Structure 1
Amino acid sequence: MRVAILFDNFGPYHVARLAGAAAVGLEVLGVEVRGKSAVYDWEAHPFPAGISRVHLTETSLVPTWKSVSQALAESVIPFRPDALAVPGWSSLSALAALAFARRRRIPVILMSESNADDCARHSIVERMKSRLVGLFAAGLVGGRRAEDYLVQLGMPPSAVFLGYDAVDNDYFISRTKAYRKLGAMPGMEPGRVLPTQFRGRYFLSSARFIQKKNLFSLLEAYALVRSRWGKDSEPWPLVILGDGALRSALAARRAELALDAHVHMPGFKQYSELPAYYGTAGAFVLTSTTEQWGLVVNEAMASGLPVAVSRRCGSAETLVVDGENGVTFEPDPPAIADALLWIARHVDRDALSRASLAKIAQWGPERFGRGLSDAAVAALSRDPRPPGVGDAVLLRAAAEIQARRS
């Protein structure tokens, strides 16, 4: 079966999923909207051998409805796909691809990680989304909350499948082993070094420095952790990977809390640099107040780390079993502090690590491939209502709204 898979830009996560789809026997065409991500400063990632790839544009500029449609006609139609998979309904390129495929009677699979409680919902907007969802033939989602939301919007339960959110588990398993006991400690901010005594004994987080990641609460929680640590051992440091508009404000708050010597912010790290941090940390924490999934949790678990994850993250319900491979929490400082202390004080962190590895083994790239394959079969068996004039108007209107937001 031939499936074309569209993403805005091929970062390491997307490449792993394409490989997973090919591994289960699908003939895959990777369709990249633009050559550079508008959100992440990823370096070019090696592309799997044997998978075809096309670019709709080489620039990081916002594509137009016309340019996407023309590029799809030139690059996707010759592939003769049985189905087209697109990421969500919130970009002009995804909506243009949906309209393009429907005009040519190509079933479209909606890849989504949206949850009903991601943000405040408004009835008029939800009705518009329901109309859009009706144009898709099947859905591939991250977890049960995303599945429930897609069904709520009108997708039949029999047409929704799990497995969308996956990373290259084998990459993190193999690369972090080298750092677990012998590898050099990773770099911190210029002039700052994390002593080797903290190998396997520091908290790690990784996030863009934006409001919803709740990093100010993480700093306040960490201050509570240090105040409650006790005198038997030195408290674990905290390392926060990432960058963004709030960096200066976070650095100032770190200083106000007298944490400069204990909280490290080494900046954004490329994919090749991540194993050094995952492989030398003792636990991973994600404190977001809203997060559709949180692929960094997958990465941490594939690296064998216990995880502390906000219950507002889509991955929490699916990947974290409280008391088994980590703990979930409400994203306020006292609850975050309790979670960090629970992991640090656990009598058998190795058992937590083994549980993380066992759990994430069920959610690798092959799970994406199986889910996509099942969605494609379901899409081919369905006959969604044909698009009408009103649908065309709705798609163009939604695309214009997204273009203005970009």
Structure 2
Amino acid sequence: MPKPDKKYRVAFMVTHPIQYQAPLLRLINADPDIHLKAYFASDFSARHFVDPEFGRSIEWDVPLLDGYEHEVLPVLPGLRYPDDAHFDTWRPFSVGLRQRLRAGRFDALWVHGYARVPHLWAMMAARSAGVRVLLRDETSALGRSPSRSRRGAKQALFTLIDRLVDAYLTIGTMNEQHLRELGVDARKFFRVGYAVDNAWFQARAAAAGSHRTTLRAELGLPADRPIMLYAAKLIGRKAPLDLVQAFGRAMTGVAAEHRPVLLMAGDGDLRPQVEAAIATLELSDSIRLLGFQSQQRLAALYDLCDVFVLPSAHETWGLVVNEVMNAGKPVIASDRVGAARDLVQEGVNGFIYPFGDTEALAARLRDATTDRTRLAAMGVESRRIIDGWGFAQNLAGLKAALAATVGAR
């Protein structure tokens, strides 16, 4: 049973357990002021499941359901996703939330996401139960140029949503900018920036430091060559082919034995094209495709690399940027990566280049690897910046939203 002296009772509703959110939910639940209960439409992600973009079976190597109260909501007959293995706009369509909000005497419902019909249904259920609604979502206009009709439809949708929502838990600058463009009053914004478990990634990176030589040998990497890292799915919106092309340009005229090594961790439907591009550009000695990597393994790769690159065409945030900054590494990102707007300071802890400009990216890659001492100094700045962007700030933002909407207690 929850402690009776806790100030706020908060319900959290999301499609499924998410590996980045689990440690934040544990932290919130452990706070002396907040009793938290999470409601999921499905728990498929806590089991083996097939990620359609990776095209392979996934099982997370971190606990997703420990340390906080949770429940999988019942689903209307016929509105469960096949094999309960994923979700779409309608499915799974959960029911019973309103009764649970009332029975649990919740003060607020935090809804993660707005684009599914069940999200809207949950907001309306909370309203009818007299419960405040807090909305957190990734929406931004980065990398997207929707038609006038689509813009009009989204504007109309947010006119409805805004009547239901008491506060927006914003993830960053571009998220806030887009919400303002949709007509939302900025006085309803409370920053709960997209973050990762900084302590977890810092500890794993530190532990990996003593095994760098072993990992280099395991991957067949020369001891003295800089390491660039890409860690993302090999799919169109992540633009891995841009990176391969830019790397090829950057290495023009550089002897093979002096080139940096580019590690590409991830998998996806573009892998055959990426392999073909590497072969065509004769970069097989300098680019290694590592496939899907667990979070434990990624932490070791973050520690190993000298610089991280994310060339995405559309990235509402990009939590991988947070992760690698916890390992104290500089970041090169396209201007369509949401995280870059808040976490990458030009020339301080990394570089931002115009998406699609492979010549500009090539120049950044060239410049970054000519001075490894400078790279190390930029990595120190990455660690300093990310230390101020974590779960502690998330908790403070949530409490501010609760005080403003439910009232100070």
Q: Is the 8 A contact 2:318 2:338 kept in 1?
A: yes
The alpha-carbon deviation at position 118 of structure 1 amounts to 3.9
- Structure-2 change in CA distance of 1:78 and 1:303 (3 Å): farther
Is the 8 Å Cα contact of residues 120 and 161 (structure 2) preserved in structure 1? no
Please, which of 159, 178, 195 is the counterpart of residue 149 of structure 1? Answer: 178
Does residue 177 (structure 1) correspond to residue 184 (structure 2)? The answer is no
Superposition deviation, residue 124 in structure 1: 2.0
TM-aligned CA distance change 1:69 to 1:265, over 3 Å: same
2: CA distance, partners of 1:69 / 1:177: 42
What does 1:181-192 align with in structure 2 at a 5 Å threshold? 181-183=210-212, 185-186=214-215
Give the 3-state SS of the residue equivalent to 2:260 in structure 1. Answer: coil
- State the distance in 2 between where 1:184 and 1:7 align: 41
Partner residue of 2:386?
A: 360
Partner residue, 2:341: 317
Contact 2:17–2:65 (CA<8 Å) still a contact in 1?
no
Unpaired runs of at least 5, structure 2: 1-7, 46-50, 75-82
Deviations 1:78-98 (A, max 9, x none): 433211111221123322322
CA distance in structure 2 between the partners assigned to 1:334 and 1:160 by the alignment: 38
Corresponding residue of 1:5: 12
Aligned residue type for 2:391:
P
Distance 1:254 1:371 in 2: 45
Paired with 1:76 and 1:185, the residues of 2 have a C-alpha distance of 52
2:43 alignment partner AA: G
Cα distance, 1:5–1:180 mapped onto 2, change above 3 Å: same
* Aligned residue-pair number: 376
1:22 aligns with 2:29: yes
Quote the Cα distance in structure 1 between the aligned partners of 2:305 and 2:91.
Answer: 48
Q: 1:36 aligns with which of 37, 41, 44?
A: 44
Amino acid at match of 2:361: I
Cα 1:49–1:339 change in 2 (3 A) is same
Deviation at 1:310, TM superposition (A): 1.0
Q: Does 1:55 align with 2:63?
A: no
Contact 1:147 1:161 in 2 (8 A): no
- The whole-number CA distance in structure 2 between the counterparts of 1:365 and 1:169 is 8
Worse overlay, 1-10 or 39-48: 39-48
Query: Percent same amino acid among aligned pairs?
Result: 28
Q: Does 1:125 align with 2:153?
A: yes
Taking structure 1 as reference, are residues 187 and 267 closer, same or farther at Cα in structure 2, changes over 3 Å only? Answer: farther
TM-score of the aligned structures, taking structure 2 as reference length: 0.84
Give a deviation string over 1:357-386, Cα, whole Å, max 9, x none: 1100111112222222222233336xxxxx
- 1:242 maps onto 2:266 in alignment: yes
Q: Deviations over 1:48-86 (max 9, x none)?
A: 764211123693254896974424246554433211111
Report if the CA contact (8 A) 2:193-2:389 is conserved.
Answer: no
* Cα deviation, residue 329, structure 1: 0.8
Partner SS, residue 197 of structure 1:
coil
- What displacement does 1:156 show? 1.9
Aligned CA distance change for structure 1 residues 23 and 230 (closer, same or farther; 3 Å): farther
Counterpart position of 1:83: 108
Which structure has more relative contact order (CA 8 Å, sep 6+)? It is 1
Partners of 1:65 and 1:114 in 2: CA distance: 19
Cα offset, 1:286, TM superposition:
0.4
**Cα contact 1:21–1:372 (8 A) shared by 2:** no
Distance in 2 (alpha carbons) for counterparts of 1:118 and 1:107: 33
Question: What is the alpha-carbon distance in structure 1 between the residues aligned to residue 249 and residue 299 of structure 2?
Answer: 28
Q: Where does structure 1 lack aligned partners over 5 or more consecutive residues?
A: 382-406
Partner of 2:48: none
**Counterpart secondary structure, 1:109:** strand
- Distance change in 2, residues 1:94/1:100 (3 Å): same
**1:126–1:65: structure 2 CA closer, same or farther, 3 Å change rule?**
closer
Query: 3-state SS of the aligned residue for 2:37?
Result: strand
- Letter of the structure 2 residue corresponding to residue 281 of structure 1: C
The SS at the match of 2:44 is: coil
Deviation at 1:321, TM superposition (A): 0.6
Match of 1:307 in 2: 331
Alignment TM-score, normalising by the size of structure 1: 0.84
Q: Which moved more, 1:136-145 or 1:367-376?
A: 367-376
Partner residue in 2 for 1:221: 246
**Offset at residue 293 of structure 1 (A):** 0.6
Residue 78 of structure 2 aligns with which residue? none
In 2: Cα distance, 1:69 partner to 1:12 partner: 21
Cα pair 2:229 2:263 within 8 Å, conserved: yes
Displacement, 1:16?
2.4
* Alpha-carbon distance in 2 for matches of 1:338, 1:132: 46
RMSD of Structure 2 on Structure 1 (CA): 2.7
Is 62-71 or 80-89 further displaced after alignment?
Answer: 62-71
Q: Tell me by how many angstroms 1:220 deviates.
A: 0.3
CA distance in 2, matches of 1:44, 1:71: 31
Deviation at 1:112, TM superposition (A): 1.9
Deviates more, 1:206-215 or 1:64-73: 64-73
Partner of 1:70: 95
